[in-house]
Every structure is written in structure tokens, then in C-alpha cells.
Amino acid sequence: MTVERRPYRAGEAARYRLVIAATNDPDVNRMVYEDGEAAGVWVNAADDPDRCSFTLPSVARRGPILITVSTGGQSPALAAWLRRRIESEVGGEYEVLLRLLSEIRATIQGAVGSTDDLNWTSVLDSNMLELIRAGDIGKARERLQACLSSS
């Protein structure tokens, strides 16, 4: 990535696919946004949600689990605060839960096809997570299979 520190040149947003306008000058940020809009380029004008064709969420990752929080650009501080709260609640046990769900879903899809008609909510509400937290993955797997058998 290259960073150039210089004034914005009118129309140059069209040379890019994605632009972030984060100057201290609202007039420059507006020009960048308008140039991007005219050229079909996605623009995020920092601290100006009305001039954003996309916003940047606060992101938490747990392996393949991706959790994002956004306030539509209105309060990045609130988005980050909420993300930290959620992140503190979502530990490694969710990665184990995901692995178990993914494995059984792939098995079912290989055998019968779609898993859309299964009651996944009952599985997730079945206290499997508590079994995983307690380290009893075998019982969690049994609970999962029992819940899906009764769907």
C-alpha cells in the first residue's frame, strides 16, 4: 500500500474501486464523495454518514466466526464498545459449536441434500454450548444428533 500526502485532485476518485475520505476538511471530503458517486466508486467519508456509500463496522473474529457491529457511521465509539462487549461473551466454545454444526450439516447434506427444514434453533437452544464449555464434546454431539432426529 502506498500513502501519498498531498492535496486531493478533483476527479481522481474515479481511478479507484474504493475510497476513504478522511481529511479534516469537509469540503474536500464532500468533493471526494461526489466524484466517487459520479464514477460509481464506493466512498466512505469519515464522520459524515450521509456521504458514505459504505460504512466500516467494528469487527470481532473467532476463527471462522465473524461478528460485525455498525451504527451506520453515526457513532464509531458505540460500535467499538458494543463489539468489545459481544467479543467478551463469545469465546472459543463458539468455534467448537460451529465445528460440530458444520460437520453434521455436511453429513446430512451428503446423505439427503438440504438441511433447510431442520430445526436449527432447537439445536442452538438445547444447552449444547454449556456442554461444550464443560468440556463434554461427546455429550454435546449426542445432544445435537438427538435434536435433529426429533426435527
Query: For residues 22 and 46, is the Cβ–Cβ distance under 8 A?
Result: yes
Q: What share of the chain is helix, strand, coil (3-state, %, to 5)?
A: 50, 15, 35
* Complete domains list, the chain, with CATH: 1-54 (no CATH), 55-90 (3.30.160), 93-149 (no CATH)
pTM greater than the 0.95 cutoff? no
Q: Could you list the mean pLDDT of each consecutive 10-residue stretch along the chain, which spans 151 residues?
A: 86 94 92 96 90 90 94 89 94 95 92 88 94 96 91 67
